[in-house]
Structure 1
Amino acid sequence: MVKVPPYLQPGSTIALVCPSGFMAIEKAQTCIDVLQQWGYKVKVGTTVGSFSTNYFSGTDEERLINFQQILDDDEVDAVLCARGGYGLSRIIDHISFKKFKKRPKWVIGFSDITVLHAHIYSNYGIATLHAPMAGAFNDGGYANEYVGSLKQALEGKRIRYECAGHAFNRKGEAIGELVGGNLALLAHIVGTPSDIKTKGRILFLEDVGEYLYNVDRMMRQLQRSGKLEKLAGLIIGGFSDIKDTERPFGQTVYELINDIVKEYDYPVSFGFPVSHEKENYALKVGVGYRLKVGRSKVLLEEYVDELD
């Protein structure tokens, strides 16, 4: 069974860190303020608002050192990655999880943080939290239900989400550990030490800013590598800001995904609110869930009984 880190209590410490792309401290300030209003202490890593002059929040060495310090800090109870972007795959093989294994803490984020979720789940069997990051708190976002779901997850509230159905949904019920995240990163880690096993699991996928043919190629990478073959269930989240070529691909993003997965008989949910947009519920990666898919409604809830 997957090990679940301790949930947070008033006075627990959340550390903000940027292990990938750059984020200005001003854009993280609302998040810092709200976390403190929630009753947590906040520690800000050196990579948040760093003096980097390029895409990354520091050199590979600087990002590695800061993330390692935060991960090993006994005063830190949860690590919130302030943003994603790109960069974790450049340092993931040099991060030591020796101390983390003995004292797990919540690692939080999405997008490029998918690499961390997958690596920690596959190698150490520890749950992580795919959830909104610092930018989601801005422009009043801290008051919406999706950022609120992060608070509830950190407090140990049992997750239960409902959303509207979709015409492409394949009805059914599934029980299994939840794995997944950003499609581009999941395709990127196939064949690496961070790769995930999907047999008997519920897989969730989302992405942003890709060309349609890229989505098709990455989905077929998952298909050809066996990742889609023996799932318990599949959740297709938001695919936002999708682009087309001058000569049209010929299908929408959901149409092409539906074509690829139609040969399988497990339940599939399209349009679930996990995405790069506001609609991004907190999901505990590695934890057992029950997925009920219908045409008009979808239910995803934590499954507390022993998994087969």
Structure 2
Amino acid sequence: MSVVFPPSLQAGQRVAIVSTARKIPAAELAPAVATLESWGLTVVLGESIAGDHHQFAGDDALRRRDFQQQLDDPSIRAILCARGGYGTARIVDELDFSGFRAAPKWVAGFSDITVLNSHLLALGYASIHGVMPVLFHQAGGELALETLRRALFGEAFEPIATAPYALNRLGTATGALVGGNLSLLQTITGTASQAGFAGRILFLEDLDEYLYHIDRMMLHLHRSGQLAGLAGLVVGHFSQMRDNTVPFGVTAEEIIDRYAQMYDFPVAYGFPVGHEADNLALVVGQTVTLTVDEAGGRLTA
């Protein structure tokens, strides 16, 4: 399936910030709004910003209505998801993408927004896996923010290089990027939001999971056939991993390696993608080349 890329942003255009998952006060977004305005954009805060329903940014109906409004408004040229948490999968099936198909626009976010990244790719559209407004100004995140700006405005993809890693598997592969948060990729397996991995370069990250959960999810991807046919694998941040009183005995990266060893695609670890400040933007659906050699791993477009 060919992938459609929305038009690049231009100064003077309108963008919306919404929350499809956890609630967030509008005041927390003021620095991000100022940054977007400094890029020449006009910012619209959706109804879900300041929405409040238990943990959520409003109930499911409000969050769905807000996202739908931004999808359908032709003057909104990008939708930035304010933060992650949990909740996007609860609303995605009721969204109508017919207006979006007529006038595609960028959707950007990560973590729980993996649901939208994957759903859009399954529909044949690119989106951005990148830093969200609530995290725009975290210490050490300057490059992550710049890569988001570059992706939104259609500037050339800067190669991403990492140092050698003991678990790397050498090789070269070319394919479209797919992936995101491992927990969400498992959650959407077997649903309309599942995008095929075959022939593509999968990137993975996760946060705050027990090590045995990582094993269980990787086992699921293996047993469900989703790892078969991968062109390559990029492993990002696995942050704040937990363990039981009786240790699982290996790291998250070693768990992933156990399953990667069952296949013959190149694998690179230590990529700056995930729940750390250096969360560089990736365009889901973009064709890239993964090179893994003695010097480390590199993604180029």
TM range (shorter): over 0.9
For residues 112-150 of structure 1, the C-alpha deviation after alignment (integer angstroms, 9 at most, x for no partner) is 11111111111x2010000100122234566x1111100
- Following superposition, the deviation at residue 108 of structure 1 comes to 0.2
Distance 1:268 1:194 in 2: 25
Distance in 2 (CA, whole Å) between partners of 1:140 and 1:276 is: 13
Find the counterpart in structure 2 of residue 306 from structure 1. none
Contact 2:200 2:232 in 1 (8 A): yes
Render the CA deviation track for 1:164-192: whole Å, top value 9, x for unaligned.
22111101111001100000000011111
Q: Which residue of 1 aligns with 2:278?
A: 279
Name the amino acid aligned to 1:49: A
CA–CA separation in structure 1 for the residues paired with 2:59 and 2:164: 44
Supply the AA of the counterpart residue of 1:119.
Answer: H
CA distance in 1, matches of 2:295, 2:251: 21
Picking from 146, 150, 153, the partner of 2:151 is 153
> Counterpart of 1:197 in structure 2: which amino acid?
G
**How far apart are residue 268 of structure 1 and its match?**
0.2
Structure 2 match to 1:6:
7
Q: Is contact 1:22–1:56 with CA below 8 Å preserved after alignment?
A: yes
Deviation at 1:299, TM superposition (A): 1.3
Of stretches 87-96 and 131-140 in structure 1, the one that deviates more from structure 2 is: 131-140
2:115 matches 1:111? no
| Deviation by residue 1:172-216 (Cα, 9 ceiling, x = unmatched) | 111001100000000011111111211100000000000000000
| TM-score normalised by L of structure 2 | 0.97
Name the counterpart of 1:25: 26
1:85 alignment partner AA: G
* Residues matched between the structures, number: 299
Any stretches of 5+ residues in structure 1 without a counterpart?
Answer: 303-308
Measure how far apart 1:3 and its partner are: 0.6
| In structure 1, C-alpha distance between the alignment counterparts of 2:244 and 2:294, rounded to whole Å | 32
Code of the residue aligned with 1:92 in structure 2: it is V
* Structure 1 residue ranges (4+ consecutive) displaced by more than 4 angstroms after TM superposition: 139-142
Q: How does 1:98-247 map to 2 (within 5 A)?
A: 98-122=98-122, 124-139=123-138, 144-159=142-157, 160-247=159-246
- How far apart in 2 are the matches of 1:20 and 1:268? 31
Given the superposition, is the C-alpha separation of residues 141 and 79 from structure 1 closer, same or farther in structure 2, using an over 3 Å criterion? farther
Q: What corresponds to 2:255 in structure 1?
A: 256
Q: Is the 8 A contact 1:167 1:295 kept in 2?
A: no
Q: 1:267 to 1:139 in 2, by over 3 A?
A: closer
* Aligned partner of residue 77 in structure 1, secondary structure: strand
- In structure 1, how many angstroms separate the alpha carbons of the residues matched to 2:15 and 2:56? 22
SS at match of 2:180: strand
